[in-house]
Structure 1
Amino acid sequence: MHIRFDVPADPAYPARVAAALSRVRLRRFGYVGAALAAVGAVGLAVSSALASDDRFSSLWTALLVGGLLSMLYAPWVRWRARRRSGGYAVEGGYDITDDNIMMRSGSESGGIAWEGVTRVTDDPEFWIVHVGRMPATVIPRRLMSDADAETLRAFMTERGLLRRR
């Protein structure tokens, strides 16, 4: 397998990449925040219904506010990443073989060996490549030809990196 394609210098592209990677990295903040907010809301409701002393109401309020702030953290980071990444638009490209994924962006280049990839997740626009537990890079499907995308999907599925449809 040898797939090669270019990435144009689109100012919106780095923002979409940043949003896709941060969505994966920051998902747990939403879950933790929802749990904290739920515990805080239930605790606040129970303590006010029992009309017990107000010693614990500040604890429940803090849990509720902390949970809400945690849930808002991920959208805030994505908004900042989109706003700041527009200046990073440079031409680049991908060169994907059986051995590795080589990426170039402007004068920089780097690669990831398939042996180090632990899994690949599907996003509406990208395949998100994970090395260990962290998302390392993305492969943009819409910039590839349909035949190349199917070839790469079959390769990743065969290696057990991507789930079958």
Structure 2
Amino acid sequence: MDFTVDCQPSPDEVMRAVCLGAKRQFRPLRLTLPTVMVAVGLLCLLVDAIALGIGMFAGAAVVPLALRWAVRWVARRQLGYLCRPTTVHVTSDSYEVRTDQSAVTMRWSLFDRIDSTPEFWLLFMNRQFAAFLPKRVFDDEQRRRLESLFAARQKTAADHGAR
């Protein structure tokens, strides 16, 4: 596999990809923290610490909103770097992203997870969202080859994890 495509991600596209990646990365935190805060709030009410209990309930409601706001704020700060004419060169070993300001090459082996969504491939390193590839920039044959590559990598990773 060896092909090159040119694209320019739009601000909306980058925002959707980053928000999806962060949502998947922070899912355990988004579920666990409010649950713990509600449990602590109930415990506070049981021991007559009413104000602290109400604060915990309020915090449980605010945490998901604050997390969503923080992700969008970080994504907006990156738009200038990510919304540029970009050349993506893909091989079976790696992919390279080049703009007028940077060139980054990443080996597929760096990614421990690659999630496929209808619009993107979301790439994760050490369980953290690291990058995305918009599917729209690849033709049908290139998408099929990438899906096969990612499926083979998932199978290999699963086989190594089972040992």
Q: Sort the Cα spacing of 1:2 and 1:78 in 2 relative to 1 into closer, same or farther, 3 A.
A: same
1:60 to 53, 60, 67: 53
Higher helix proportion (structure 1 or 2): 2
1:69 Cα deviation from its structure 2 partner: 2.3
Counting aligned pairs with the same residue, the percent is 19
1:108-123 to 2 correspondences below 5 Å: 108-123=102-117
Indicate yes or no: 2:67 matched with 1:80: no
Distance 2:39 2:91 in 1: 49
Which runs of no fewer than 5 residues in structure 1 stay unpaired? 48-53
1:110 Cα deviation from its structure 2 partner: 0.4
Which runs of no fewer than 5 residues in structure 2 stay unpaired? 158-163
Distance 2:66 2:29 in 1: 7
Aligned partners of 2:15 and 2:72 also within 8 Å: no
Distance 1:129 1:83 in 2: 19
Equivalent residue, structure 1, for 2:20: 20
Distance 1:109 1:83 in 2: 21
The letter for the 1-side match of 2:140 is: D
Indicate yes or no: 2:148 matched with 1:154: yes
The letter for the 2-side match of 1:23 is: K
Q: Which runs of 4+ in 1 moved over 6 A?
A: none
Please tell me the root mean square deviation across aligned C-alpha atoms, in Å.
2.7
How many aligned positions are there? Answer: 156
- Name the SS of the counterpart of 1:124 in structure 2: coil
Indicate yes or no: 2:62 matched with 1:69: yes
Aligned partners of 2:8 and 2:86 also within 8 Å: yes
Q: Sort the Cα spacing of 1:82 and 1:118 in 2 relative to 1 into closer, same or farther, 3 A.
A: closer
Q: 9-18 vs 108-117, which deviates more?
A: 9-18
Q: Sort the Cα spacing of 1:37 and 1:132 in 2 relative to 1 into closer, same or farther, 3 A.
A: closer
Aligned partners of 1:125 and 1:140 also within 8 Å: yes
Q: Note the alpha carbon deviations across 1:112-137, whole angstroms, 9 max, x for none.
A: 11222212112332111122222221
The letter for the 1-side match of 2:111 is: V
- Name the SS of the counterpart of 1:159 in structure 2: helix
Q: Sort the Cα spacing of 1:79 and 1:19 in 2 relative to 1 into closer, same or farther, 3 A.
A: same
